[in-house]
Structure 1
Amino acid sequence: MAPKVSGKKSAKKVLETKEITEIVVEDDIIDIISVNEKKITKIDPSQEIWYKLANIFITSVAFFTRFYYIWYPSEVVFDEVHFGKFASYYIERTYFFDLHPPFAKLLIAFVGWLFGFDGKFKFENIGDSYITNSIPYIPLRALSAILGTLTVPLMFETLKECNYSVWSCILGSAIVALDNAHVAETRLILLDATLIISVAASLYCYVKFTKLRYNSFSLDWYKWLFLTGVSLSCVISTKYVGVLTYLTVGAAVAVDLWHLLDHKTGLTIRVFIRHLYARFVLLILVPFLIYLGWFYVHFAILTKSGPGDNFMSTEFQETLGDSVLAKEAKEVNYYDIITIKHKNTECYLHSHQYRYPLRYEDGRISSQGQQVTCFNSGGEDEGDKWEILPAQPFQGNKLGHPVLQGDTFRLKHVATNGYLLTHDVASPLYPTNEEFTVVTIEEGDGERFQDTLFKFDPVDKRIDTPLKSKASIVKFLHVPTIVAMWTHNDVLLPEWAFNQQEVNGNKNIQDNENNWFIDQIVGLSGVRAQFVPKPVRKLAFLRKWFELQFLMFEHNNNLSSEHPFASQPNDWPLCMSGVSFWTKDNARQQIFFIGNIPGWWFEVAMMVAFAAVVVFDQLTVQRNIRILTARSRARLYKNLMFFFGGWIFHYLPFFLMSRQKFLHHYLPAHLIAAMFAAGFLEFLFTNNRTTEYKEKEEKPDTLNTIAYASVVILLFAILVTGFVFWAPITYGNTPLTVSEALSRQWMKMKLHFTK
């Protein structure tokens, strides 16, 4: 048995020999486990091959689940709207504002740049086609899939470094490898794959560091302490919830330092301060400098004016140069001659002297009015030119005044000298939608006046800002009938309209396909035609950083509006609700963010059991009854408590937050809970009782391998079954009948296609 010392008795001398691997403190007695006992705290070398094979297997599973059908859907999904757009802004170097730090977004932009993405596609709407717009979306998604895959072997190695059996390593990593929520979040263009692998790397590096606690100030000791700091910096540089990982590691560091301060360790104050200094530099100072470095890169890239300008101060905006768009964007004034372009189909609003036929092919009678179509003429056709006029004829004093994005206005067709209008007459191809036509000046100024009134509905909702060519994306809403001007290229008009696109009034005014913009102001001359670059000023980096930090925190705290798929933290551990990411109505397909529920419930069961064991142990110890061995208690209160505390730090703070909360906020806590659950299950199958309380002679601290392996195999089979069951709504590539959708709608889930 290892020697025991009381107080300072020889403790310093024994520590200086470095022939120790663990110290267990009980009743003021330090039990120093010597090098001779080191082998029982290390993995048996003969088992290494099984660990390697198991790690390869579970990593392959993670790779398959994340890369399977990664090309589907070939459309923008959920928050790809945001993070793909930010990559576009980085590539175009136009300034934008976001609530999250730049590290993960820079990674996405870098991959996009490597694969030739030019940044012109802005990921405006869920459902926008990647194929049509020639976007390298698969490499962008593959970045997340690779990071999500690598998270799994990191978990495996973390459990191995904690001296758990190969079965625990498989179980803990399989919970994440086969989790539908982790798979869904780490195969799309999102930030969470970077966040989660950074959390896993932080825990792995810190575990590696703690195993070197008795080789203090060695090269390896510094290396793993430094890598812990780098990993923590990656977490906090991806999302500010990374501070919860800092709390996890920080609490463990504080406990470690408290033990080092104990006089029984024999450390001098000078050596203790050296420990403190090393941790301060490598866990706080270096990560903070790395964190600042990403913002430096962020500001260095975003040098041009962009959509984030209005969030910043005037002094900040003066540091930004004009964007390429700024050179072409001009304020639109009343009585300007303009061309109008549809955002999705890139065709120009057009009219000509030809009229709708008396009867359509289906027998319906038309108004026989002047045709209004959409035509890809390049904006050079005379039929594409329109004069924008104020809503009231007597507002002639608006000559030269800018058009605002929320204004009511009229459009006069220049070539045929008539007003654009829509009315309660069915359109040629869509009987449910309204026909667009052009009427004479006399009709437009007389009895048809109200029908000629339109109002802009800006996508950015800034109704009081001037309308700009190229830059302002708006909907044209008809004032009397409240329909939106729309065109489509799925079906073209017949030969009587020269196979051009139909323009009609869409009653679904929120449809993103209703978006248009002013392409050109015809005949622009003089001062308005000239581009005068604005002067660019300098502002200190820290001044810009402080301003941005304040705004990020302010807007983060104000993000409290309701959302149909928002959920509360009390729902998360049991995975009671999820989030709809994408739907395809005509195919009855859906991507719904939800976890592999059996895995989540297993974690909760293990945490409840852990709390019960800890309470029971504390009660018995209080009565001086020591049922558990010293080693099992060390595992319970050091290793397992570290993971349990990490789960608490990553979960409970969300109860204090007033901002919007979603199920994906729980994924870091779920990751830690997976390692905890696997470790604690092994604890339950280990002979933890002291010899005094054993019913039969068994070697203490040994695992009942056969029984444990059987349970792990059963749990693995359950995880596979659960993953396959919810896979249709994870990948969205399988149509679901009503009964199939209903069978997967558990608890508070709200799936589509259940009716």
Structure 2
Amino acid sequence: MSSKLRQRRAESDGMTEKHSQVDYDDSKKYGKDSVPSQRNPNGHRLALGFLCVVATIVTFYKIWNPDEVVFDEVHFGKFAGYYLRRTYYFDVHPPLAKLMIAGAGYLLGFDGQYDFANIGDNYLDHNVPYIGLRALPATLNVLCVALIYLIMKESGYTLAICVLSTAMYVFDNAMVTQNRLILLDSMLLIYMLATMYTYIKFRKLRHESFSVAWWFWLLATGVCMALTVSVKMVGLFLVALIGLSVIYDLWGLLDINRGLSMDQFMKHFYARAFSFIVVPIGIYLFWFYVHFAILNESGPGDSFMTSRFQDTLKNSPLKMSALEIHYGDEITLKHKDTNAYLHSHDLHYPLRYEDGRVSSKGQQVTGVMEPDDNCYWRIKPNKESSDGLVKNGDLIQLEHVITGTNLLTHDVASPWMPTNEEVTTVPLDTRHEETLFQIIFEDDDQNVFETHMTSFRLVHQDTKVAIWTHNKKLPEWGLEQLEVNGNKNAIDKTNYWSAQEIRGKNATEINANRSVKEVRSMPFISKFLELQGRMISHNAGLTKPHPYQSTPITWPFMIRGVSYWSKESTRSQIYLTGNLFGWYLSVGGIAVFAGIMLADVLARRRGIEPIEEPVRHRVLQSAGFFFIAWALHYFPFFLMGRSLFLHHYLPAATVNYLLLGAMYQFIFVDGIDSPVSFLSLKSKTTRQTSMKAEVSYKVYIAVGITIVCQIAMFVFLAPLTYGTPLTLEEVQSHQLLSGWKLQYAK
């Protein structure tokens, strides 16, 4: 095909680079008058302003109540205080939102000394500017309202539909409850919605590729996307949404019929790669750089990090008390996972266990929670000529000081775990090769063995198992102490121990040691990677049961809420639950979208085109975008093993209101108001003619009734949102579903 013929064909199909893909805003392809959102700018301004005022009233109403710590304010208020005191802490979330709260606290004069210890603690007693701190997320919630409206407007929806989606969010009890407390969710939502808005603006400018405006919205999308991930790791769901959209976009540009040369295509590819990969990574790293720069003092997060990391913090009590360990020192060893001390005593394993297995009948080696004289082990070199400091990778022996025996493990099954090896001790100068262990530090860059600061594994030289303990207790013959055995998975992360005390070291030596301790440096990227690994592993390990946890399948139907705060004297409480009407209607919107897509596919399979192209185009491009956003913010939670709660569904619920508006547009504005008309062979002219006479009032009636129902349900549930005192009968009447566990309902 010649270049001229290809160009003529591209122009005839309306698919030149200038109009390379169908837009969210159909005005570019179908004419400005076909897009109602472009026809009434003054109406949009008035509607947006009015909704923002209403949102401000709804969000800030009685924001001072309660004047006590509510739910996870115990965590995020505390973290803000750590920033203000420059004290290192550990959390599973990235730092941006907590830095924002800390910044607000700094401007309000909060000194960070109050530790937000318990739910129900009184703020006034501790001079905490809690109203100002809550005002930050509340203000962001109002900005979320504005963004929802603008997303719908820029996507080409009518004024009524823009008002619908926005009002549904404004009067959602869960959004108001969550986004007026000192929590992270309003920060997550504001950046998530900003990303969607900027991406839609970028896509509308694709016919002006590489213009100043095109670059601005492209880069703005990358920045907002990075800020989303910098608040919570679930921001990666938004990254997936933008990633899929970009892949779809690039796939269309790659089509030879679009008339783009490969050089032009690669320019598009590099622009997106820079904006959506390089820029976000740089911004994400920047917030961690700020995080480390501020938190330079030792704090409660020290124990989560390696000794090399802790060496970079000032005034670490463990660092100050750390002593170098020499051969011949008598030390106690503490298991990092269980906090049990390695222990032995002059008792032996029984010849036979309860299941009939035979033991070595050797001396017992166990774990105890409180150290005593039986917890001291003398560390000895493999060769008599070796002396001096113990170093990473050395072969050592451990002599139990009280009984004068060497630690040993061998190919005999342990008491509780037949797959693991029994650990015992043997007399000195016997079975030498079986008493050798290699000491392997967790931090490869650390070479000298120190108390408190060095995490290490003891790997048996002969059988390659690691000394390990767990929380299961031995029977009475083992004094109900913890079993210690040889773990065949020698690289398991629970195999680590640390030395706690050196017998005979006195206060003078420790104080002298403190005077020479220096804060060491560590490359930023090493600190970043270490913290990322800790965040991911710790988040996955949050599996402890909670009375208010729930499963994702229950979230759209709000089967179980979360009790945030309660006060028995007034029978008042804050209970997280969404607006039942809005959430159930939104589930219906998902069902309608799925039904439309299925019916359209089946109809087209039979040669029928039931939807006008502009309408079908909007459903696929815009409603489809919202549906994928909802799915990506919902279904991944089914794969998570950690404890989950209803508030994890709030980003998906927010996007669901966008999809609901799109379905109202399809049903009431685009004239497809029943399955019969949807699948009928009625001509487009006939449908459009009948639509003009009926759509103007149908959409307003439908939207008006929907918003009134949403407000009515919001008002009914408002006492649970604002912590209003209730009588016993009123509490019981508000427990609409059996899964809700309201306080004082019984």
Superposition deviation, residue 612 in structure 1: 1.0
Query: Which residue is 1:215 aligned to?
Result: 208
The answer on 1:164 being equivalent to 2:120 is: no
Superposition deviation, residue 42 in structure 1: 4.4
CA distance in 2 between counterparts of 1:44 and 1:745 reads 38
Closer, same or farther in 2 for the Cα pair 1:691/1:619, shift >3 Å?
A: closer
Closer, same or farther in 2 for the Cα pair 1:59/1:35, shift >3 Å?
A: closer
CA distance in 1 between counterparts of 2:256 and 2:138 reads 49
| Counterpart AA for 1:563 | H
Query: Which residue is 2:705 aligned to?
Result: 714
Q: How does 1:74-473 map onto structure 2 within 5 Å?
A: 74-322=67-315
Deviations along 1:208-248, one digit per CA (max 9) or x if unpaired, are: 11111111111111111111111111110010000001111
CA distance in 2 between counterparts of 1:38 and 1:693 reads 21
The answer on 1:735 being equivalent to 2:726 is: yes
Query: Which residue is 2:688 aligned to?
Result: 698
Superposition deviation, residue 534 in structure 1: 3.4
| Counterpart AA for 2:555 | W
Unaligned runs of 5+ in 2: 323-367, 373-450, 453-506, 673-677
Closer, same or farther in 2 for the Cα pair 1:328/1:718, shift >3 Å?
A: farther
The answer (yes or no) to whether the contact 2:15–2:258 under 8 Å persists in 1 is: no
CA distance in 1 between counterparts of 2:162 and 2:27 reads 27
The answer (yes or no) to whether the contact 1:687–1:699 under 8 Å persists in 2 is: no
The answer (yes or no) to whether the contact 1:43–1:163 under 8 Å persists in 2 is: yes
| Counterpart AA for 2:671 | N
CA distance in 1 between counterparts of 2:572 and 2:580 reads 21
Superposition deviation, residue 34 in structure 1: 9.1
| Counterpart AA for 2:533 | F
Deviations along 1:15-63, one digit per CA (max 9) or x if unpaired, are: 7988758649xxxxxxx99969531354566511111111111111211
Query: Which residue is 2:601 aligned to?
Result: 618
Instruction: Give the 3-state SS of the residue equivalent to 1:580 in structure 2.
Output: strand
Query: Which residue is 1:537 aligned to?
Result: 520
The answer on 1:606 being equivalent to 2:589 is: yes
The answer on 1:586 being equivalent to 2:576 is: no
The answer (yes or no) to whether the contact 2:671–2:687 under 8 Å persists in 1 is: no
CA distance in 1 between counterparts of 2:15 and 2:245 reads 24
The answer (yes or no) to whether the contact 1:147–1:197 under 8 Å persists in 2 is: yes
Query: Which residue is 2:529 aligned to?
Result: 546
Aligned residues: 559
TM-score, length basis structure 1: 0.70
Query: Which residue is 1:670 aligned to?
Result: 653
The answer (yes or no) to whether the contact 1:100–1:552 under 8 Å persists in 2 is: yes
Aligned CA RMSD, in angstroms, stands at: 3.1
Identity %: 40
Closer, same or farther in 2 for the Cα pair 1:535/1:224, shift >3 Å?
A: same
Closer, same or farther in 2 for the Cα pair 1:72/1:35, shift >3 Å?
A: closer
Deviations along 1:360-385, one digit per CA (max 9) or x if unpaired, are: xxxxxxxxxxxxxxxxxxxxxxxxxx
The answer (yes or no) to whether the contact 1:199–1:245 under 8 Å persists in 2 is: yes
| Counterpart AA for 1:141 | R
| Counterpart AA for 2:695 | N
The answer (yes or no) to whether the contact 1:12–1:266 under 8 Å persists in 2 is: no
Deviations along 1:344-372, one digit per CA (max 9) or x if unpaired, are: xxxxxxxxxxxxxxxxxxxxxxxxxxxxx
The answer (yes or no) to whether the contact 1:158–1:203 under 8 Å persists in 2 is: yes
The answer (yes or no) to whether the contact 2:572–2:725 under 8 Å persists in 1 is: yes
| Counterpart AA for 1:554 | S
CA distance in 2 between counterparts of 1:284 and 1:649 reads 19
Unaligned runs of 5+ in 1: 25-31, 331-403, 409-463, 466-524
Deviations along 1:472-514, one digit per CA (max 9) or x if unpaired, are: xxxxxxxxxxxxxxxxxxxxxxxxxxxxxxxxxxxxxxxxxxx
Deviations along 1:122-145, one digit per CA (max 9) or x if unpaired, are: 001111111000011111100000
Instruction: Give the 3-state SS of the residue equivalent to 1:590 in structure 2.
Output: strand
Instruction: Give the 3-state SS of the residue equivalent to 2:62 in structure 1.
Output: coil
CA distance in 1 between counterparts of 2:75 and 2:199 reads 33
Superposition deviation, residue 693 in structure 1: 3.6
CA distance in 2 between counterparts of 1:151 and 1:661 reads 24
CA distance in 1 between counterparts of 2:268 and 2:149 reads 29
| Counterpart AA for 1:687 | G
The answer on 1:68 being equivalent to 2:61 is: yes
CA distance in 1 between counterparts of 2:39 and 2:309 reads 62
CA distance in 1 between counterparts of 2:511 and 2:131 reads 41
Deviations along 1:622-657, one digit per CA (max 9) or x if unpaired, are: 011111111111011111111011111111111111
Aligned counterpart for 2:644 among listed residues 645, 661, 686: 661
Deviations along 1:580-623, one digit per CA (max 9) or x if unpaired, are: 00010111111001001100011001111111111111101001
Query: Which residue is 2:333 aligned to?
Result: none
Query: Which residue is 1:596 aligned to?
Result: 579
The answer (yes or no) to whether the contact 1:93–1:301 under 8 Å persists in 2 is: yes
| Counterpart AA for 2:8 | K
Superposition deviation, residue 180 in structure 1: 0.6
The answer (yes or no) to whether the contact 2:135–2:180 under 8 Å persists in 1 is: yes
| Counterpart AA for 2:644 | K
Closer, same or farther in 2 for the Cα pair 1:561/1:33, shift >3 Å?
A: closer
| Counterpart AA for 1:249 | I
| Counterpart AA for 2:536 | F
The answer (yes or no) to whether the contact 2:79–2:98 under 8 Å persists in 1 is: yes
Query: Which residue is 1:390 aligned to?
Result: none
The answer (yes or no) to whether the contact 1:172–1:675 under 8 Å persists in 2 is: yes
| Counterpart AA for 1:224 | W
The answer (yes or no) to whether the contact 2:35–2:158 under 8 Å persists in 1 is: no
CA distance in 1 between counterparts of 2:218 and 2:298 reads 41
CA distance in 2 between counterparts of 1:87 and 1:691 reads 63
Superposition deviation, residue 543 in structure 1: 0.5
Superposition deviation, residue 264 in structure 1: 1.1
Closer, same or farther in 2 for the Cα pair 1:720/1:328, shift >3 Å?
A: farther
CA distance in 2 between counterparts of 1:212 and 1:700 reads 34
| Counterpart AA for 2:74 | V
Instruction: Give the 3-state SS of the residue equivalent to 1:223 in structure 2.
Output: helix
The answer to which of 10-19 and 262-271 deviates more is 10-19
Instruction: Give the 3-state SS of the residue equivalent to 1:698 in structure 2.
Output: helix
The answer on 1:51 being equivalent to 2:34 is: no
Deviations along 1:284-326, one digit per CA (max 9) or x if unpaired, are: 1101100000000000000011000011101100000117x99
Closer, same or farther in 2 for the Cα pair 1:321/1:34, shift >3 Å?
A: closer
Superposition deviation, residue 111 in structure 1: 0.7
